[in-house]
Amino acid sequence: MKEYDYIIAGAGLFGATFAHQARKHGKKCLVIDRRSHTGGNTFCRNVDGINVHEYGAHIFHTNDKGIWDFVNSFVEFNRYTNSPVANYEGKLYNLPFNMNTFYQLWSVKTPAEAEQKIKEQVASVHISKPANLEEQALMLVGPDIYEKLIKGYTEKQWGRKATELPAFIIKRLPVRFTFDNNYFNDRYQGIPHGGYNLLTAGLLEGIEVKLNTDFLADKDYFSNLGNKVVYTGALDEYFGHRFGALQYRSLRFEHEQLDIANYQGNAVVNYTEASIPFTRIIEHKHFEFGTQPHTIITREYPAEWEKGMEPYYPVNDDQNMERVKHYQQLEKKKKNVLFGGRLAEYKYYDMHQVIAAALVTARKELAAE
């Protein structure tokens, strides 16, 4: 008889949620993570009373009341509403694109005026079959919005010219003819009071956790400790890059503490011009309506992923998706390994989506026991 029912490689939201559900069913789990902390990219570092989102801004949002009630059963969430601001050449614009944005761009005051202006802008570019991302964006919103609020930011994010990116990256651009700065349309939205570490701690309560431990460095040993493995790490890495490495975009963060109470008046300000190397500045205290006499800001820089860096966004082009198919065929042969989460599925997940995926996986797995 093995020591554990499940060895869970990864203490992020997928692994922690699965472990919680398994424990509820009387299963014994060991959660392993190569980092020095749990929570994956949601980890918050408390610095002088401010919860710093160590790996970039994380705003929880969902339309699923079941998911909302689930996370609130561990920690109460506040009423934070994501309302980013864009800075282009020193001028500020509200996001997402709404009547405030259109007034700032063109001084239009009514939805009819804004709609007419966008129609004129789109008509001016004479594009019907976009060949790349730039043409797709121009066809959707015209040159003013594209040049000031999309082009530079997107090129920094992807590390490529917009003319070299495929059109499908931007399927649509949400345009609102209301004075509404709420970035998300979801019914539920907020940040945990006290930071995301409380959510992870609640999920992992009563579960054995081993940090600073690389599952893949001794895969056979750890796998043999349990009846099954739940693997949430990089899919290609599990199989020794047999079909080549999958590509990711990465991020680099510069944190800075300032002896002022309020640096920018908003949690997130995007810098949309190409000449500024970072994509946004995050001021963490505003996520929890902090009143501290000091503040902490983070400049976020996109980066090409290299070995040893944290992978953030999958590059879903034809070459990578073809490799994923090959890895998924190998995955099917691993009857005692469950693959789940952003890296193991090579899929971009929002937080509510990864929790939902973990709950579905746990439900299927534990029902079959």
Residue 151 is assigned to a structural domain of this protein: yes
Residue ending a domain, choose from 136, 169, 202: 169
Whether residue 222 is found in the same domain as residue 328: yes
* Residue 356 pLDDT: 98
Residue 11 is assigned to a structural domain of this protein: yes
Residue 18 is assigned to a structural domain of this protein: yes
Q: Which amino acid is at 90?
A: G
Contact 357, 14 (CB under 8 A): yes
Residue ending a domain, choose from 143, 169, 195: 169
Task: Report how far residue 288's alpha carbon sits from residue 85's, in angstroms, rounded to the nearest whole number.
Answer: 18
Whether residue 165 is found in the same domain as residue 192: no
Q: Residue 139, SS3?
A: helix
DSSP type of residue 38: S
Task: Report how far residue 127's alpha carbon sits from residue 141's, in angstroms, rounded to the nearest whole number.
Answer: 11
* Residue 252 pLDDT: 95
Whether residue 123 is found in the same domain as residue 151: yes
Residues with a catalytic annotation lie at 172, 176, 249, 280, 300, 348, 350
CATH number of the structural domain spanning residue 36? 3.40.50.720
Q: Residue 252, SS3?
A: strand
Whether residue 241 is found in the same domain as residue 320: yes
Q: Is the pLDDT of residue 274 over 80?
A: yes
β pairing state of 280-283 and 295-304: antiparallel
Task: Report how far residue 74's alpha carbon sits from residue 64's, in angstroms, rounded to the nearest whole number.
Answer: 17
Whether residue 351 is found in the same domain as residue 239: yes
Residue 286's φ and ψ, nearest 5 degrees, are -70, -15
* Residue 306 pLDDT: 87
Residue 296 is assigned to a structural domain of this protein: no
Q: Give the list of residues 6+ apart from residue 55 with CB closer than 8 angstroms, or none.
A: 40, 41, 42, 43, 251, 253, 310
Task: Report how far residue 212's alpha carbon sits from residue 223's, in angstroms, rounded to the nearest whole number.
Answer: 17
Whether residue 239 is found in the same domain as residue 102: no
Q: Is the pLDDT of residue 259 over 80?
A: yes
Task: Report how far residue 13's alpha carbon sits from residue 358's, in angstroms, rounded to the nearest whole number.
Answer: 8
Residue 223 is assigned to a structural domain of this protein: yes
Range of the domain at 319: 4-81+187-246+314-367
Residue 102 is assigned to a structural domain of this protein: yes
The label of the residue with tokens 């991020």 reads 251
Residue ending a domain, choose from 110, 139, 169: 169
pLDDT, average across residues 193-199? 98
Assign 282 a pLDDT band (cuts: 50, 70, 90). very high
DSSP type of residue 192: B
Q: Is the pLDDT of residue 266 over 70?
A: yes
pLDDT (tens digit per residue) in 29-41:
999 999 999 999 9
pLDDT, average across residues 325-336? 96
* Residue 369 pLDDT: 66
* Residue 309 pLDDT: 87
Residue 103 is assigned to a structural domain of this protein: yes
The model's pTM is 0.94
Distances from the Cα of 335 to the Cα of 7, 188, 329, angstroms = 14, 37, 12
Report the C-alpha dihedral over residues 142, 144, 146, 152, rounded to 10 degrees: 160
User: What does the radius of gyration of the chain's CA atoms come to, in whole angstroms?
Assistant: 22
Mean pLDDT of the chain: 96
Residue 101's φ and ψ, nearest 5 degrees, are -60, -45
Tell me the HSE value of 87 on the side-chain side, using a 13 A CA sphere: 15
Assign 308 a pLDDT band (cuts: 50, 70, 90). confident
* Alpha carbon of residue 123 to chain centroid: 34
Assign 174 a pLDDT band (cuts: 50, 70, 90). confident
Task: Report how far residue 215's alpha carbon sits from residue 8's, in angstroms, rounded to the nearest whole number.
Answer: 9
| Number of domains within the chain | 2
Contact 12, 190 (CB under 8 A): no
* Residue 169 pLDDT: 84
Q: Is the pLDDT of residue 344 over 90?
A: yes
Whether residue 238 is found in the same domain as residue 326: yes
Whether residue 47 is found in the same domain as residue 195: yes
* Residue 171 pLDDT: 81
Share of the chain above pLDDT 90, in %: 90
pLDDT (tens digit per residue) in 66-111:
999 999 999 999 999 999 999 999 999 999 999 999 999 999 999 9
Contact 255, 284 (CB under 8 A): no
Whether residue 107 is found in the same domain as residue 227: no
Task: Report how far residue 70's alpha carbon sits from residue 64's, in angstroms, rounded to the nearest whole number.
Answer: 10
pLDDT (tens digit per residue) in 40-54:
999 999 999 999 999
Q: Give the list of residues 6+ apart from residue 335 with CB closer than 8 angstroms, or none.
A: none
Q: Residue 282, SS3?
A: strand
Residue 145 is assigned to a structural domain of this protein: yes
Task: Report how far residue 57's alpha carbon sits from residue 76's, in angstroms, rounded to the nearest whole number.
Answer: 18
Whether residue 163 is found in the same domain as residue 191: no
pLDDT (tens digit per residue) in 203-241:
999 999 999 999 999 999 999 999 999 999 999 999 999
Whether residue 326 is found in the same domain as residue 351: yes
Task: Report how far residue 258's alpha carbon sits from residue 243's, in angstroms, rounded to the nearest whole number.
Answer: 47
Whether residue 224 is found in the same domain as residue 321: yes
48-52, 143-147, 311-315: range with lowest mean pLDDT: 311-315
